């Protein structure tokens, strides 16, 4: 099955395969959302089915919950878990300090809550997600529907005084209607190009009435697992200050995941 993957999907797969090595029997695991995180959920499902791994998963979206149940992972709520051993999730961007932009899939609020309720957050990514300065990927912010236009206007006004290169704000759409998050909110995408001070930006933008949360993950990620299309994997641990390289061998006739969809 892996022999049929594109280089980018191979990179996602090997990153996910390496990241699930952080998971041990009996753990409570935060399950991220997105195409890369879906590979991780599938790998954990294989370990549950084939190796007898016993874990409890806390998903960060309804679609992740559906996939987790499909592959045999026991799903519980964060309130039931209370605290998590590790959360594994993807990212839209990461910098050298392992600060992130997340929310391209529209699940940033649950993702941030779950990640901060974990002893460790591991991010899986391909090398294209590495940036010198955050902001090339549009920064999502989750906003409540009430007063949406007023909130957007306040956000646009605030951007004028911030250390960013762009100030275009767009409402995320789902076809002809606004995108709706699992919490019933909307997403504003901020096209900033460059965020000079992500920490300050995160604090300021969250003070705007109507803004629930933003997609900047500052000092939350502990390690990033970077996959490459040739099977190479690089693990950067911000706490230990280490960089390790590994390699995941492909099994060309492997039929894992063939009955699953993102």
Domain positions in the chain: 2-129+219-247, 139-213
Is 256 a residue whose pLDDT tops 70? no
Q: Of residues 93, 111, 142, 213, which has the active-site annotation?
A: 111
143 within 8 A of 211, measured Cβ to Cβ: yes
Q: What interhelical angle do 62-70 and 35-51 show, nearest 10? A: 30
Q: Is 219 annotated as a binding residue?
A: no
Q: Is 6 annotated as a binding residue?
A: no
Give tens-digit pLDDT for 140-164. Answer: 999 999 999 999 999 999 999 999 9
**How much is the pLDDT for 20?**
98
Is 229 a residue whose pLDDT tops 50? yes
236 within 8 A of 124, measured Cβ to Cβ: no
User: 135 Cβ partners below 8 Å, 6+ apart?
Assistant: 93, 101, 164, 165, 166, 192, 193, 194, 195
User: 194 Cβ partners below 8 Å, 6+ apart?
Assistant: 133, 134, 135, 136, 164, 165, 166
The number of angstroms, rounded, from the C-alpha of 186 to the middle of its chain's C-alpha atoms is 18
Look at the domain 2-129+219-247 and name its fold.
Answer: Rossmann fold (3.40.50)
Q: Is 92 annotated as a binding residue?
A: yes
23 within 8 A of 124, measured Cβ to Cβ: no
Backbone phi, psi, residue 70, to 5°: -60, -35
Q: What is the mean pLDDT of residues 193-200?
A: 98
Q: What is the CA radius of gyration of the chain?
A: 18
Question: CB neighbours (10 Å) of residue 24?
Answer: 12
Tell me which DSSP letter residue 195 carries. B
C-alpha dihedral over 175, 176, 179, 180, to 10 degrees?
A: -120
**Of the candidates 114, 130, 133, 106, the residue with the CA atom closest to the CA atom of residue 189:** 106
132 is catalytic: no
Q: What gap in Å lies between CA 248 and CA 148, rounded to an integer?
A: 46
β-pair partners for 2: none
Q: Is 90 annotated as a binding residue?
A: yes
For 242, the enclosing helix (H) or strand (E) is strand 242-247
Q: What is the mean pLDDT of residues 170-175?
A: 98
The CATH number of the structural domain formed by 139-213 is 3.30.70.260
Is 262 a residue whose pLDDT tops 50? no
Q: Is 129 annotated as a binding residue?
A: yes
Q: What is the mean pLDDT of residues 244-255?
A: 72
**How much is the pLDDT for 3?**
52
Give tens-digit pLDDT for 48-106. Answer: 999 999 999 999 999 999 999 999 999 999 999 999 999 999 999 999 999 999 999 99
């Amino acid at each position: 099955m892996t022999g049929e993957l594109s280089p980018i999907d191979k990179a996602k797969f090997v990153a996910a395969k390496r990241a699930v090595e952080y998971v041990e029997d009996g753990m409570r695991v935060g399950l991220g959302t997105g195409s890369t995180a879906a590979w991780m959920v599938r790998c954990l499902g294989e370990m549950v089915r084939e190796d007898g791994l016993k874990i409890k998963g806390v998903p960060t979206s309804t679609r992740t919950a559906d996939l987790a149940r499909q592959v045999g992972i026991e799903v519980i709520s964060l309130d039931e878990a209370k605290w998590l051993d590790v959360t594994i999730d993807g990212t839209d961007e990461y910098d050298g300090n392992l600060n992130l932009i997340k929310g391209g899939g529209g699940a940033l609020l649950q993702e941030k809550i779950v990640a901060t309720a974990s002893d460790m957050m591991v991010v899986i990514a391909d090398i294209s997600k590495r940036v010198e300065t955050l902001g090339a990927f549009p920064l999502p912010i989750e906003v409540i529907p009430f007063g949406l236009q007023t909130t957007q206007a306040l956000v646009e006004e605030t951007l004028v005084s911030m250390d960013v290169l762009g100030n275009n704000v767009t409402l995320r759409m789902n076809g002809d209607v606004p995108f709706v998050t699992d919490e019933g909110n909307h997403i504003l995408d901020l096209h900033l190009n460059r965020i000079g001070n992500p920490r300050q930006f995160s604090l300021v933008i969250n003070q705007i009435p109507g803004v629930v949360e933003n997609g900047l993950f500052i000092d939350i990620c502990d390690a990033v697992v970077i996959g490459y299309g040739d099977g190479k994997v690089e693990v950067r641990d911000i706490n230990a200050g280490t960089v390790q390289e590994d390699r995941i061998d492909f099994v060309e006739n492997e039929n894992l995941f063939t009955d699953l969809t993102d």
